[in-house]
Every structure is written in C-alpha cells, then in structure tokens.
Structure 1
C-alpha cells in the first residue's frame, strides 16, 4: 500500500501536465455525417464517423467499430471508447454509427405473419459488405479488424451476421437481442451452422436484469448453443437495475473490454518480467490493432518504477522507452526515462531525455526546475568522466 501511495503524486503530475491546455478554445465535435446511396437497399443511408484522437497527425491504420442505430448509440459508444483508450483497455478505433430508417425490415432475417414486410437482413448485409465497408476503407486508414454492435432488433441482426456471414466481422457485442423473432429462427440457424465458422471469434452478450424473462431465456439458449471451438471467447453479463433501454451503455463498455482484453499486459509478464516478453507483447498488440495501440500510462509507469525499486534499471529503461514513445508529449515520460538511463550509467542517453523533458516543460507541460537540475547534474557527470 505504501508503494502505491508514493506513486500517486507522480502519476497525478504526469496526467495533469499532459492534459493541461489540451484543445483549449476548440469546439467539441464527436462525428462527421455522411450519406450513401445504396444500390443494395435502394435507400440513401445516413452514417456517422468518429475518428480517434490523433488520427490526422498519424499514419497508423485503425480497427473499425460499427454500431447499429447510430443515432441513438453513437454518443455513449464514443464516450466509452475515449475512457477505454485512455486507460489502455482498447486501441484507438474508428467508430461508425449507422442510421436505419426501417429497423424491422433491415434487421430481421425473415418475414413473419405479424411482420410480412420484414426480412431484409440479407440485403442490409450486402449493403455493409459491398458498399459501406469498401467506402470506409477508401476514405479512412483501416486495418481490417471489425466489430459489430447491435441492440434489440440490432442485436438480432448482429446474431444473423454472426451465424450467416461470420467472415464479415471479427467480434460482436450483442445487447438484449430480439431472438424471439419468428419462433427463435436464429437459434435454429445457429444449430445448423458449421462450428468452424466461429473459430477465434470474440463475443459479448449483455442484457438488463429488468428486461423480460423471455428475452433473457432466449439469449441464454442461443449462447448455450454456441459450439466449443478453438479461440472462441464468449462472455455474457446481466446488469443489475438496468432495463432494455439502459443496458446498451454498460454492455458496450464491458463488451469492448472483453473484445480487446489481449491488449493488457499479462500477470505473468508483470510478475516475471523479461524485456523480450514485454516487447513481443507490445509488438503483437500494435500489429493486431494498429501502431497507435498502447497500454495506459499508469500501466507502463507502475511497472517501470517497480523495476527501478528492484534496481533493474536496464529493464526499467525498456518500459520507460515504450512509455515515452506512446506518451511523447508528457514531460514526465522523458524525465522518468532519463532517471532509468542515469541509474543504468547511460549518461548521454539520460541527458537527451532530460533535455526533452525541459523542452516540453518550457511549453507548460512539466516541472521545469526539477528537469533543469537533472540536466545540470548529468552534464557535470559527463564532463567529470571525460576528464583525464
């Protein structure tokens, strides 16, 4: 506990110096609005695109998260994304909110006696596959990793996509799905699907505790019918004191954490640290989710400072180097890296890092006096070592 308490002031300085004055005087806009004339549905489809922070300044490619009923679900998804990226639970992603003017037609897989004009799910799938996804790939830097989120009828469509077009999306967040549709037609389709279609899929199902009993049982039966195949990761949750219309926020939040759970450093890497294992994890994470994928700053800092306490300065420098790469506008990132270099006897590297900290602190992003003292101390040490 005392160790954690000693770190809290340092982390507070890191965060406050990094976020001060960010975006001052600018309007906050969470998405751009587009329309697409669809030959598949015969309609003009409206969709929103929210780009991650730093998109314009980077050359990275990004995963894409598609959310149905985007006019209702985009804003809370963007908020969850911001929190989870900042805390290292998911990579920066492009978010696409799709507006549907006829949910029953677009999202239902079949017509029924009660809804004879439904059954357009296959046409809507073709719209996604042949029109929207290619249009996004042309306009934005996407890396091919795709997630689909759907609620209620949208959850029914997500289930249809999973069963009938599993190649289209890598992962699914399915919220209170209307699996009662047409006497649970999707359950029957699932039971007839080749189990190998679900290899390496990541699925999260969520529903509110106060949702209907039938909805919960239908979702349970669907999940239980999923085959046990290699790499399939399924998680489900029932949220206390939440109903049908309030469940999407929590389901989306925890669903994203589940889907991208391999972002986080494993307990094994933390307990039995080796630089090779750490760097291999970081490399794999960026190859899968894009060059901007990273742990939270506190994850890197806690780990590196623990290594400093163990006097493993070279290992601490490896972690601090990654932290400085990922959070290069934080003066403390470079200051801590300088400390690791200095302790490891790499004085020239330490001086460069301290000078970078001074540069950023001069822009109002750190404690300038402390950093100047470090520069002076290391310069004197380098001069002394150079004396005959």
Structure 2
C-alpha cells in the first residue's frame, strides 16, 4: 500500500492536518504496546473552516478494510444532514488482529497483547485524538467478528468510554454473550447498541447472534437504544455494506430533518413549536451537538400550522426563526402570518415589508412577499 507516513509520538502535540473529507495516514507510537500503529483519519469536509465546531468520534477497528465503508457512508449521509458530520479514525490491524483481541480463557478477559491493545485504545489513542481534534462527547466504536466481541469489554467498565457500539456479525465469546444482557439492563448511561447478522452468515455466529438478540430485545432500560438487523441473503462479508448505513440511520434517527412520515405525526400534534424545540433539545442531550434549527424543519412546522389552522403558533415560531436565521425572510414572514391570521393587517403589512429586504429562503421569495403586501393593501385599503 502506497502512502506517506508521519511519525507521531503520543507525548508530542501534533497539529490538525486536514483540508477536506480526505483520508490522511498516520503512525502513532504506543507506549503500552511498545510498537507503532497505523491510523487512517478522515475529518469532515469543512473542519478547518468551522473552527468552533466539535464533532462526534467514530473509532473503526479492523481499519485496514472497515474504515473505507464506514468513512464513505458517514461522509455521504452527513452531506445530506441525515447524520452529523464526524471524525472517523480507523485502526489498522493487519498482522496483529489475533493478538489484539486475545482473551484469557480462565479469566475470560483481555489478556497479554489483548489487554495492552485494550489500554492503548482507551488510555492512549482517545486522549491523543481529544488533544488534537475538536471532539464532541459522543463516541462510537465499530468492529466485526473478533473485534466486535472485543470492543464489548468497554461496556463492562464502571463507565463506558463509548456511547455507541456497532457490532457487525460479532463472534461473541461466552463471557460477553452470557453477561451482555445483564450489563445493558443495569447500565446507568445512555448507550446505543446495534447488532447485524445475515441470513447467510457463518452458521455458528448466526445462531449465537439470534440468541443474543432474543435476550436484548426484552430488556427494559430507558437509557438503552437497541437495534438489530438480520439482513436477508447477506453473508458474513456482504452484510457490512448494508449494515453500516442502517446502523447510522437508526442511531442518529433523531438527528435528521423531519420526513414525510414525521409530518403525519406533526398533523396529530397539539403543540407544534414545542415538538420542534424538543427535537433539537434531544439532539443536544443525546449527541452533545448544539445545531441551528434547519430551514426545512421550520417549513415543515409551518405547513402543519397552516393545515391545522393553529396560527397562534406562528408567534413563537417566528422568534425561533429570527434567532436561527436572522438574515433571511423566514422569521419576519412567520410573524407577518401571525398578525395576518389574527386580524392585525397593519402589523402584518409592516412585517412583510421588513421581510422583503432580507434574503430569500425556501419557498419565501420576493414575489410571494409582494403578493402578500399587495393583497393586504387591496383588501384593507392600507
């Protein structure tokens, strides 16, 4: 594999080194492993421009082959704002995968090189990344087969250093398989847990995974977000291509903009603006991401207001829109609609006139505003 390497000592500060969503190869020297480890790192497209923004971290085990499908899906889905942009770090394990995941069959815990690799990830790699990149509190780890089993040991710590686990056809060893359900049932922090298998997966793995799912789906813990896919006709290898986007979509389902299905729910909702506010509070609480309310979500709420004739809600909606998109027509248009539908044409006219001088947004353009202004003048002699 042809690539340029920069040697990075864990104790030395390194500077950010990305221009866009392109992969950079790094080599880090681990004191725990007494060896160098190769990393593949992808930063979001506008990482260097958005200097005040923090991003979730995705650690990809088996980075030599899993990194590319994970990084590609994250770049693609985040481009369309279905999931948040994220920093993706792949840990290459060619030649070391077996030793990295070594477990003592008496204690059934990571042992020897496995214990050192476990400490490398948690005690060296994560602090290094947090020191040199703008990382949000939300952290995810992904693995397949042996590495998927191995990463579950972080769940058995007093506090998991990862918030989300994507298990691709995990080869669950007895201690994980036996104790996983009890651990997830009792865990006192929010955990997103995803498992994927395929109908043509390795039979022994498939059977164990189905048994694990049967136990996990019955758990009652409000802090556990559990997802499972048994992908039809997928093998141990082909399931990866379908499981990764499915996992990302499910784990970040609250993050994406309102969909057509969500709109149907909104039509049955009494407090529309409260629903919008709660959506973005949930995004911040669950993922540690404070983002502006999207224009498309404002438009969806406005559409529901019009259909249900809940025009009073426009007042609060306008305040949110002015705060989030001050330079656009959005907030002033909503406020004008509030006055217009509440029998205050003069105030509505003034607000439409203010909106006319601002940037067009979504369906709100100068032609629409002029139409509104002319209608008010004609109907009320203003």
The answer on whether the counterparts of 1:211 and 1:243 sit within 8 Å (CA) in structure 2 is yes
User: Relative to structure 1, is the Cα distance of residues 193 and 339 closer, same or farther in structure 2, using a 3 angstrom cutoff?
Assistant: closer
Q: Distance in 2 between matches of 1:208 and 1:240?
A: 6
Query: What is aligned with 1:10?
Result: none
Query: What is aligned with 2:238?
Result: 246
Q: Deviations over 1:123-180 (max 9, x none)?
A: 222111111111111112222211111112221222333345751211211001122x
Query: What is aligned with 1:340?
Result: 334
Aligned match of 1:216 in 190, 201, 206?
Answer: 206
Structure 1, unpaired ranges of 5+: 1-26, 361-365
Aligned match of 2:227 in 235, 259, 268?
Answer: 235
The answer on whether the counterparts of 2:20 and 2:45 sit within 8 Å (CA) in structure 1 is no
Query: What is aligned with 1:65?
Result: 58
RMSD: 3.9
Q: Distance in 2 between matches of 1:45 and 1:74?
A: 15
Q: Which protein, 1 or 2, shows the higher relative CO under an 8 Å CA cutoff with sep ≥ 6?
A: 1
Query: What is aligned with 2:277?
Result: 279
Matching of residue 94 in structure 1 with residue 71 in structure 2: no
The answer on whether the counterparts of 1:109 and 1:160 sit within 8 Å (CA) in structure 2 is no
Moved more, 57-66 or 37-46: 57-66
The answer on whether the counterparts of 1:196 and 1:229 sit within 8 Å (CA) in structure 2 is no
State the TM-score, normalized to the length of structure 1: 0.72
Matching of residue 201 in structure 1 with residue 191 in structure 2: yes
Moved more, 88-97 or 99-108: 88-97
The answer on whether the counterparts of 1:105 and 1:118 sit within 8 Å (CA) in structure 2 is no
Query: What is aligned with 2:128?
Result: 135
Aligned match of 1:307 in 293, 305, 308?
Answer: 305
Name the SS for the 2:233 alignment partner.
coil
Aligned match of 1:174 in 167, 172, 177?
Answer: 167
Matching of residue 46 in structure 1 with residue 38 in structure 2: yes
Q: Deviations over 1:258-278 (max 9, x none)?
A: 222343667765521422342
The answer on whether the counterparts of 2:40 and 2:89 sit within 8 Å (CA) in structure 1 is yes
The answer on whether the counterparts of 2:267 and 2:308 sit within 8 Å (CA) in structure 1 is no
Q: Distance in 1 between matches of 2:198 and 2:48?
A: 38
The answer on whether the counterparts of 2:185 and 2:221 sit within 8 Å (CA) in structure 1 is no
Name the SS for the 2:171 alignment partner.
coil
- Deviation at 1:105? 1.1
Q: Deviations over 1:284-340 (max 9, x none)?
A: 3234424454677645433322323344345357557767877x69x9xx4555543
Matching of residue 356 in structure 1 with residue 353 in structure 2: no
Q: Distance in 1 between matches of 2:336 and 2:126?
A: 50
- Deviation at 1:341? 3.2
User: Relative to structure 1, is the Cα distance of residues 319 and 350 closer, same or farther in structure 2, using a 3 angstrom cutoff?
Assistant: same
State the TM-score, normalized to the length of structure 2: 0.73
Q: Distance in 2 between matches of 1:290 and 1:190?
A: 26
Aligned match of 2:103 in 104, 109, 120?
Answer: 109
Query: What is aligned with 2:152?
Result: 159
Higher-helix-fraction structure: 1
Structure 2, unpaired ranges of 5+: 1-18, 340-347
Name the SS for the 1:261 alignment partner.
coil
